[in-house]
Structure 1
Amino acid sequence: MVEFKESMMKEFDMTDLGKMKYFLGIEVVQFDDGIFISHAKYVMEVLRRFGMEHSNSVENPMVPGFKISKDENGIEMDGSFFKQLIGSMMYLTATRPDIMYALSLLSRRGGSHELIGFTGSDYVGSVEDRRSISGYVFMLSGAVVTWSSRK
């Protein structure tokens, strides 16, 4: 391991910062018997950003059996604020898969539920190796559900 690190430092301009502690908002703690990851710092930043730092914590992300319905007499919410909140929470599902169901219910969009697909290909399109390039994307209600790009 030390030899590899030294050879990389000779080849590339880099600095040894020691063991990784944070990566893309995820706290990483390394032990001899395993690695622990946590989003605790990111969660606190999200709570502060959306003014929820004093909210009560719960064991379940959603009350079992609870049904969400539209409040016709409710206050209209800023759509961009709501999308930012849901997007910030979706990032947490990497370490908290238990919140995925509740987030997917909250992030449902109205509209036609229309499935749209786009495809494209270029036969022998790569100039370097004359290989074909193809791809597709499928969207449901304006959100990408699957995509691929191949050479």
Structure 2
Amino acid sequence: MKDKFQLSSMGELTFFLGLQVQQKKDGIFISHDKYVADIWKKFNYTDVKSALTPVDLENPLVKDGDANDVDVHLYRSMIGSLMYLTASRPDIMFAVCACVRFQVTPKTSHLLAVKRIFRYLKGKPILGL
């Protein structure tokens, strides 16, 4: 194929569309470590305490009509960043999908749930598939 098409080998794949790829003897490890660090910087979460779980079991997410509204654009931006991350982090899939349901009129409790996911990522930054 090299003679027919002008191809060149650039070595092993290590980074593709925000995914870090590590090729090992026993398989391939895919993660978003750099992307996680980038979204921490974007939303100013570099110096927060970590959380053990992505969901607060004592305070489930519900439609809270009486609570204060939050910035819709910030909320959607945070959710969008987390949705892309679920490609390699199935541990946050349930929590992110629960928060996605409240994108139209997010309240303070919903933003706190999203912030908890970011805090969980702080404690577990190097996970993947």
Give the TM-score taking structure 2 as reference length.
Answer: 0.69
Q: Once the two structures are superposed, what CA deviation does each residue of 1:10-44 show, in whole Å capped at 9, x if it has no partner?
A: 23333311000011111111111111111111001
What is the CA distance between 1:72 and its match in structure 2? 2.6
Q: Quick one: distance in 1 between partners of 2:67 and 2:59?
A: 20
Gaps spanning 5+ residues in structure 1: where?
A: 1-6, 112-151
Q: CA shift at 1:59, angstroms?
A: 2.6
Name the structure 2 match of 1:72: 66
Deviation at residue 78 of structure 1 after TM alignment:
2.0
Post-superposition shift, 1:71?
Answer: 6.7
**How far 1:65 sits from its partner (Å)?**
4.5
Matched, 1:15 2:2: no
Unmatched 5+ stretches in structure 2: 106-129
Q: Counterparts of 1:2-151 in structure 2 under 5 Å?
A: 7=1, 9-69=2-62, 70=64, 72-74=66-68, 76-109=69-102, 110=104
Superposed CA offset, 1:91-122 (max 9, x none):
111111121111112111458xxxxxxxxxxx
What is the letter of the counterpart of residue 72 of structure 1? D
Answer 1 or 2: which has greater helix percent: 2
TM-fit CA distance, 1:66: 2.9
Q: How many residues align?
A: 103
Instruction: Compare CA radii of gyration and give the structure with the larger one.
Output: 1
3-state SS of paired residue (1:86): helix
Q: TM-score, normalised by structure 1?
A: 0.60
Letter in 2 for 1:19: E
1:18/1:77 CA distance change after superposition, 3 Å:
same
Secondary structure of the residue that 1:37 maps to in structure 2? strand
Inter-partner Cα distance in structure 1 for 2:51 and 2:5: 48
In 2: Cα distance, 1:12 partner to 1:77 partner: 54
